[in-house]
Amino acid sequence: MTATTGTTTVSAYAAPSAKAPLERTTVPRRPVGASDVLIDIKYAGICHSDIHQARDGWGEGIFPMVPGHEIAGVVTEVGPAVTRFAVGDRVGVGCMVDSCRECVNCEAGLEQYCLEGNVGTYNALDRNGEPTYGGYSTHIVVDEAFTVRIPDGLALDVAAPLLCAGITTYSPLAHWNAGPGKKVAVVGLGGLGHMAVKIAHAMGAEVTVLSQSLRKKDDGLKLGADHYYATSDESTFEQLRASFDLIVSTVSAPLPLDKYLGLLRTDGAMVNVGAPEEPVSLNLFSVIAGRKTLAGSGIGGIQETQEMLDFCAEHGLGAEIELIDADRINEAYERVLASDVRYRFVIDASTI
Ligand code: NAP
Ligand code: ZN
Ligand code: ZN
């Protein structure tokens, strides 16, 4: 880390342009402001959203792009107005680093749905118009209001993925009341999916995994699933017709929604957290028959993220990770795209 007039230059891995492989570079970090903390990043998870964005699959990407919104590290400096954190604290940063803080959603702790748009941890412009750079980096400066505490019971490496995969699944599971007596299906056993299984199980729900094949069945059951089915087997859709109160889809590609909606009970809900690059089609009779809900959900608010971390610590839930050096990021991307991830790649930031 080198400093000039308060702005520091830090090492990072960036995609120089859309679809280009990520390479080592440096990026600026702003001076530590009054309410900012400087975080020495220890670990950064690789989310499928990083891949969508680094390859410009969602459009309007800002390059060079330093992805990474599953950040775990240690506070090394605090601004004079910081009240909640001290040097040495173990902290996390997720998908957003700011919001308007005034709109009805920000007031309600739903900063992710800020009416002015939240400021993404990367691939965004901050409120001064400067590009944000994410967690594939050695340090980051973040306002304390968008920093959360990692409880002592959670190791930083397995905690990092909770900052996106954890909160993105916890939030809809909590909102749709996953718990005892509820049958919950999780579609896709990847980074988000495996956390959905752990969290739904810890909430007391009966959990079914719907995966493309049975090749990860043993893992799924160990993670806390009660049942495991292959969606490549057409009989699965017959067998499980009208079974679930809640389906959480974590699938990164378009799904045949009508088929999955057939698996819901009357008044059941299917919530999509997966964010495919292409639109999907829907026959509205799939929701009319049975008064079903088709919904989406985006990450979670800051207070809810803290609640999720505390819940995970209390239940001993971290992510299942494969720790990699930064020079293996591009290879990890290919494996995620091939659904060959068990179940989250995490970058050791000391190798950046
Ligand atoms: P991931 O680790 O790649 O997991 C996705 C899983 O979906 C795969 O492991 C695979 O599971 C299944 N899958 C992949 N392609 C499929 C296909 N063509 N048909 C059926 N199933 C398929 O990705 P992730 O990091 O969990 O992210 C999942 C999605 O959520 C991404 O689109 C990501 O951008 C999005 N996301 C959204 C939010 C939000 O706030 N809503 C937050 C984070 C991520 P099986 O091998 O078990 O079938
Ligand atoms: Zn993510
Ligand atoms: Zn707002």
In this structure, the answer to whether residues 252 and 336 fall within a common structural domain is: no
Burial 115-134 (b: 16+ CB within 10 A, else e): eeebbbbbbbeeeeeebbbb
Query: Does residue 262 fall inside a structural domain?
Result: yes
In this structure, the answer to whether residues 58 and 107 fall within a common structural domain is: yes
In this structure, the answer to whether residues 173 and 49 fall within a common structural domain is: no
**Ligand 1 atom with least separation from CA of 192:** 26
Query: Does residue 315 fall inside a structural domain?
Result: no
Query: Does residue 306 fall inside a structural domain?
Result: no
Residues around ligand 2, an ion, CB closer than 5 A? 47, 49, 164
**Ligand 1 atom with least separation from CA of 344:** 2
- Residue 165 and residue 266: Cα distance in Å, rounded? 28
Domain with 79, as residue range(s), is 2-163+320-351
In this structure, the answer to whether residues 186 and 335 fall within a common structural domain is: no
The pLDDT tens digits of the residues spanning 201-227 come to 999 999 999 999 999 999 999 999 999
Beta strands in 54-153 (DSSP E): 71-78, 90-93, 96-98, 119-120, 139-143, 148-149
What single-letter DSSP state applies at residue 337?
A: H
Please state the φ and ψ torsions of residue 126, each to the nearest 5 degrees.
Answer: -75, -175
Q: Which of 335, 22, 308 is nearest to 169 (CA)?
A: 308
The answer, as to whether pTM is greater than 0.95, is yes
Atom 44 of ligand 1, nearest CA residue? 49
Percent of the chain clearing pLDDT 70 (strictly above): 99
Omega before 343 within 30 of 0, i.e. cis:
yes
In this structure, the answer to whether residues 38 and 110 fall within a common structural domain is: yes
Query: Does residue 284 fall inside a structural domain?
Result: yes
- Residue 208 and residue 85: Cα distance in Å, rounded? 39
Those residues with Cβ within 8 angstroms of residue 65's Cβ, 6 or more apart along the chain or in another chain: 14, 15, 53, 54, 122, 123, 133
Ligand 1 first shell, C-beta below 6 A: 47-49, 52, 164, 168, 188-193, 211-212, 216, 250-253, 273-275, 297-299, 336, 339, 341
Atom 4 of ligand 1, nearest CA residue? 190
Which CATH number does the domain housing residue 154 bear? 3.90.180.10
Distance 14 CA to ligand 1 centre (A): 22
Mean pLDDT throughout 83-112? 98
The pLDDT tens digits of the residues spanning 235-289 come to 999 999 999 999 999 999 999 999 999 999 999 999 999 999 999 999 999 999 9
Those residues with Cβ within 8 angstroms of residue 130's Cβ, 6 or more apart along the chain or in another chain: 30
Query: What does the block give as tokens for 17?
Result: 């342009």
In this structure, the answer to whether residues 117 and 246 fall within a common structural domain is: no
Query: Does residue 36 fall inside a structural domain?
Result: yes
Distance 255 CA to ligand 1 centre (A): 11
Query: Does residue 303 fall inside a structural domain?
Result: no
The pLDDT tens digits of the residues spanning 139-178 come to 999 999 999 999 999 999 999 999 999 999 999 999 999 9
In this structure, the answer to whether residues 154 and 280 fall within a common structural domain is: no
Query: Does residue 301 fall inside a structural domain?
Result: no
In this structure, the answer to whether residues 123 and 190 fall within a common structural domain is: no
In this structure, the answer to whether residues 22 and 51 fall within a common structural domain is: yes
In this structure, the answer to whether residues 228 and 334 fall within a common structural domain is: no
In this structure, the answer to whether residues 54 and 70 fall within a common structural domain is: yes
Burial of 60 (0-12, 13-18, 19+ CB in 10 A): exposed
Which CATH number does the domain housing residue 210 bear? 3.40.50.720
Number of structural domains found in the chain = 2
Query: What does the block give as tokens for 50?
Result: 């990083």
In this structure, the answer to whether residues 158 and 191 fall within a common structural domain is: no
Please state the φ and ψ torsions of residue 224, each to the nearest 5 degrees.
Answer: 130, 5
Q: Which of 122, 198, 134 is nearest to 165 (CA)?
A: 198
Q: Which residue has the tokens 């494996």?
A: 335
Query: Does residue 174 fall inside a structural domain?
Result: yes
